[in-house]
Amino acid sequence: MRIKAAVVNEAGGPFSIEDVDLDEPRAGEVLVRVAAAGLCHTDLVSRDGGLPPPLPAVLGHEGAGVVEQVGPGVTKVMPGDPVVLTFASCGQCGNCRAGQPTACINFLARNFAGVRPDGSPTLTRNGAPLSGVYFSQSSFASYALATEANVVKVPGDVQLELLGPMGCGIQTGAGAVLNSLAAEAGSSIAIFGVGSVGMAALLGAMVAGCTTIVAVDPNQERLNVAIELGATHTVDPSRDNAVEVIGETTAGFGARYSVECSGIPAVLRQAVDCLAVPGTCGVVGVAPMGAEVSLDIFSLLVGRTVQGIIEGDSVPDVFIPAMINLWRQGRFPFDRLIRSYDFDQINEAAADSEKGVALKAVLHMPL
């Protein structure tokens, strides 16, 4: 079928709205009419060539919409169901079977290969294959082809334009605190980089009952929002030494937990150095593949842990409905982070995201 999609034709190039062709759903696949899609930092790293898939490609991995058609064997959803699209996992490896889909041994292939597992494309342009299947959705488009495994049915009375970011950025930040770190009530946490993922981590810390929440970011407007959402302290690292301030804030002990959301190696070093003993740093910021960081080995030996986190260690069919319920109760106001754009404003949305003007840009698809 002919659809509208935002194509990245070369590394670092703009998104180009073009007519492309999307394959019909095969066994286990779900065709979704996209209502909206969040713009994530990972999309921009892929746009710039720092991550697969091969270009040209259609990106987008925070889609939300309505099921249009299902392929043979699909029983989880049916046409007309509202859904959020999330990351893909194989469902067959040992980690998936153990309830850890974010640790799927086929994670890279299922989310970044640009083609189906059998090597066939889902998208073509002028008859030539076009890289798609980004997070098994490529939702910067009017329609997306997902799989039964990575669609999450959501309540019909919640505005779909709000829910797309739950498929990645929001569940990543909140899940990092609630699932991966399992922060205890009364604990201290420092969040480095309070874009949308960092703000979601802050909201997760509020749900967890953390009583010292330090937001670190050079953008004063973001720090102001962090205070409004529950941060107890803020640090502008362009003016103050974040490690020293966090030490003072925690009576010299350091933070029990930290979450690094910037993807900047020097910031990761600070997120580790600010920790108490014992203490754990959750790494969620996406850096270009091959980026390295230098750490003090002795500081790790005495009881500090660095933990990589993908998608908040979430089981989306469980965690996304839980976040929606928390939002309904007024305990998880993630909607405060969203700034809406029309689909044809995608390059403006990307620029605003990079400048920090938009915490979470969400693209609304034309009806």
CATH of the domain at 25: 3.90.180.10
Q: Is the pLDDT score of 119 beyond 90? A: yes
Q: Is residue 76 part of a domain?
A: yes
> Which of 153, 160, 154, 118 shows the shortest CA–CA distance to 23?
118
Structure tokens belonging to residue 93: 């490896």
Say which residues have a Cβ less than 8 Å from residue 330's Cβ, sequence separation at least 6: none
Q: What is the pLDDT averaged over residues 144-153?
A: 98
| 78: confidence class by pLDDT, cuts 50, 70, 90 | very high
Q: Is the pLDDT score of 122 beyond 90? A: yes
User: Torsion angle of alpha carbons 176, 180, 186, 190, nearest 10°?
Assistant: -40
Same domain, 177 and 163: no
Same domain, 50 and 104: yes
Same domain, 107 and 135: yes
Residue 166 corresponds to which amino acid?
A: M
Q: How far is CA 298 from CA 183, 254, 264, 275, 304, in A?
A: 24, 16, 22, 13, 9
Same domain, 304 and 182: yes
Structure tokens belonging to residue 283: 């790494």
Same domain, 21 and 112: yes
Please tell me the predicted confidence (pLDDT) of residue 217: 98
Same domain, 81 and 178: no
Same domain, 36 and 126: yes
Q: Is the pLDDT score of 367 beyond 90? A: no
Q: Is residue 319 part of a domain?
A: no
Q: What is the pLDDT averaged over residues 119-129?
A: 97
pLDDT in tens, 170-190: 999 999 999 999 999 999 999
Measured distance CA(128)–CA(144) in Å, rounded: 18
pLDDT in tens, 15-52: 999 999 999 999 999 999 999 999 999 999 999 999 99
CB-based burial label for 52 (10 Å; 0-12, 13-18, 19+) = middle
Same domain, 109 and 251: no
Same domain, 217 and 294: yes
Residue 218, Ramachandran bin (φ over 0: left; ψ between -120 and 50: alpha; else beta): alpha
> Which of 145, 135, 199, 209 shows the shortest CA–CA distance to 172?
199
Measured in residues, the chain has a length of 367
User: Torsion angle of alpha carbons 281, 287, 293, 299, nearest 10°?
Assistant: 0
Please tell me the predicted confidence (pLDDT) of residue 260: 98
Q: Is the pLDDT score of 288 beyond 90? A: no
Same domain, 281 and 142: no
Domain that residue 99 falls in: 2-167+333-364
Same domain, 183 and 265: yes
Q: Is residue 318 part of a domain?
A: no
Please tell me the predicted confidence (pLDDT) of residue 348: 98
CB-based burial label for 176 (10 Å; 0-12, 13-18, 19+) = buried
Domain stop point among 264, 294, 309: 309
Q: Is residue 6 part of a domain?
A: yes
pLDDT in tens, 293-316: 999 999 999 999 999 999 999 999
The CATH number of the domain holding residue 277 is 3.40.50.720
- Count Cα neighbours of 151 within 13 Å in the Cβ-side half-sphere: 32
Q: Is the pLDDT score of 196 beyond 90? A: yes
Q: How far is CA 74 from CA 122, 134, 139, 149, 151, in A?
A: 18, 20, 20, 10, 11
Q: Is residue 68 part of a domain?
A: yes
Same domain, 229 and 107: no
Q: Is residue 151 part of a domain?
A: yes
Q: Is residue 323 part of a domain?
A: no
Q: Is residue 184 part of a domain?
A: yes
Q: Is the pTM here over 0.85, yes or no? A: yes
Q: Mean pLDDT over all residues of the chain?
A: 97
What is the count of structural domains for the chain? 2
Q: What is the pLDDT averaged over residues 279-285?
A: 98
Q: Is the pLDDT score of 289 beyond 90? A: no
Q: What is the pLDDT averaged over residues 133-150?
A: 98
